[in-house]
């Protein structure tokens, strides 16, 4: 959990900072002259919590976590460590896959929660310093359409992203063909499949929960 979650916080925070900045600037560009500028807070809040926070964080972690899992398990596969586990009476799926999927499902929402908080904060700081918006106005906009559902929707999605990314990493890793090339191909495939799974799940949850 430390490796899959805690160690991923820096990259998630980095992405969230710039997501918040861009969202604030973009929404200002869109809204100026059309609607009151405090709508910047609404857009930054909704978008970070419900969509960009979970999805961008998920994509970044698909590259980091998914690749790491696939490379680790792929190396174990080609060096017969998985076979060794079987001969020692361990079920590779129970011993290798389940803990990683559970850890990712638990830690992705934690990392996403950090990203949400940082993204909104970054948007606020940008709005106050670069746009003609005061803090009370930003938070007025943030609270305008806010529902608690915005947060749990994002976190539920994020948990499913974590499980999917880890599962893709495990499946591709355990399917690695022999040699460095085989492990490399599995790792690449795991990242691609993880990203695809995130997009599919994103649409699924939007259909089901919204």
* Closer residue to another protein in complex, CB, 43/82: 82
Give me the least distance between CB of 193 and another protein, in Å please.
25
**Rule CB under 8 A: which of 54-113 touch another protein?**
76, 79-81, 83-84, 86-91
Query: Cβ closer to another protein: 79 or 134?
Result: 79
Tell me how many residues contact another protein (CB under 8 A). 12
Contact assessment for residue 101 and residue 167, using Cβ atoms and an 8 Å cutoff: yes
Q: Which is nearer to another protein, 14 or 90 (CB)?
A: 90
> CB neighbours of 95 closer than 8 A, spacing ≥ 6?
85
CA-based torsion, 37, 38, 40, 46: positive or negative: negative
Whose CA is closest to 195, among 10, 52, 63?
63
Residue closer to another protein, measured from CB, 37 or 67: 67
State the nearest-atom distance from the C-beta of 98 to another protein, in Å: 15
Is the Cβ–Cβ distance between 156 and 181 less than 8 Å?
A: no
Query: Do you know the residue count of the chain?
Result: 210
Residue 76 DSSP label: H
Residues that bind another protein (CB under 8 A): 76, 79-81, 83-84, 86-91
């Amino acid at each position: 959990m430390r490796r899959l979650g805690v160690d991923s916080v820096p990259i998630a925070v980095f992405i969230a900072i710039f997501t918040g900045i861009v969202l604030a600037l973009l929404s200002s560009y869109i809204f100026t002259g059309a609607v009151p500028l405090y709508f910047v807070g609404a857009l930054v809040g909704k978008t970070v919590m419900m969509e960009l926070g979970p999805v961008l964080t998920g994509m970044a972690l698909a590259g980091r976590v998914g690749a790491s899992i696939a490379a680790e398990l792929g190396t174990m596969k080609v060096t017969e460590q998985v076979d060794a586990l079987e001969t020692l009476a361990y079920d590779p799926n129970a011993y290798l896959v389940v803990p990683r999927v559970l850890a990712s499902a638990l830690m992705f929402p934690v990392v996403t929660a950090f990203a949400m908080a940082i993204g909104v904060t970054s948007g606020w700081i940008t709005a106050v310093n670069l746009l003609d918006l005061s803090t009370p106005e930003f938070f007025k906009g943030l609270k305008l359409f806010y529902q608690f559902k915005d947060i749990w929707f994002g976190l539920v999605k994020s948990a499913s992203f974590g499980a999917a990314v880890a599962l893709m990493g495990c499946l591709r890793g355990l399917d690695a063909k022999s040699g460095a090339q085989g492990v490399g191909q599995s790792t690449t495939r795991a990242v691609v499949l993880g990203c695809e799974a995130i997009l599919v799940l994103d649409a699924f949850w939007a259909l089901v929960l919204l």
